[in-house]
A = this chain, B = another copy of it.
Amino acid sequence: MTAQPNAEPATLHERIRADIEAKILAGIWRPGHRIPFEHELTAQFGCARMTVSKAIAGLVDAGLIVRRRRVGSFVAQPRMQSVILDIPDIQADILSRGEVYRLNLLSSQRREPARGQPDEQLLAGAGELLAVRCLHLSDGRPFALEDRLIGLSAVPEAEYADFSATPPGTWLLDHVPWTEAEHRITAINADAATADLLAIENSAACLALERRTWRGKQHVTHVRQIFPGAAYDLVARFTPRSSDASMR
């Protein structure tokens, strides 16, 4: 949990927000209930309308309130909607746990996109691809196996980067602003080669995390990271509008 549990909020709009939130959580205002109009809250709290509006806007962000013009603002139907999952930089994550990070660069080669792989051709654009394969180690133990493709037309300077000094993911974060990413999380049985590299049993369950990243419409990189399922979990903790998440 990030925030202290019961600290009285300092600012007025936060107190108003907390006041409304408390009524909802206590069940006094059930889903679908119309909360007081903004001008009523203005009178109740003796403040300007913008302040009330800011408080409600926060509750809308948190998914607790729905506003409808000409009608009013209502307590939202609860939904298992957005859950914030943090998928951190592997190096930073290992270091933050006080463990020793090491990268084993298995291969790195420039090549043409494969025929019959429209994904690779989109990633390559007019240029070529950089294919990097590496193993992340934490305290000497395999932590994740990474296969990455980088579009050299999007990131030409990647060709000259030293990925044994800086892991490719970290390097890209530092060099390329991204606007969009798609993640896919799957469970797979490790094949023989993967199991060997990760030092796990053959066909042991692993988490496969695939991420494709764009800058604007330009596809920047596509990475697949495989984590031993027995050792590492993805954890996401959610509180409306404040979250804590990590990989354990």
Contact = CB atoms under 8 A, between A and B. Distances in A.
Interface of A: 1, 5, 24-25, 27, 31, 50, 61, 77-89, 169, 173-174, 176-189, 203-207, 215-217, 227, 229, 233-240, 243, 245
Given A25-B216, A229-B188, A238-B183, A243 B82 contact: yes
A89 B78 CA distance: 11
A85 B233 contact: no
Given A80-B173, A84-B84, A185-B207, 4 more contacts: A80-B169, A82-B86, A187-B188, A189-B205
Given A177-B25, A189-B205, A237 B182 contact: yes
A243 B30 CA distance: 27
Nearest to A236: B183
Nearest to A244: B182
B24 A177 contact: yes
Nearest to A50: B50
A164 B117 CA distance: 45
**Most chain-B CB neighbours within 10 Å: which of A83, A180, A206, A233?**
A83
Contacts of A84: 82-85
B85 A80 contact: no
A189 B187 CA distance: 9
A229 B187 contact: yes
A187 B173 contact: no
Contacts of A85: 82-85, 183, 236
Contacts of A174: 77-78
A83 B86 contact: yes
**Most chain-B CB neighbours within 10 Å: which of A82, A86, A180, A185?**
A185
A239 B179 CA distance: 6
Given A83-B84, A173-B80, A237-B183, A205 B178 contact: no
Contact of A188 (B205, B216, B238): B205
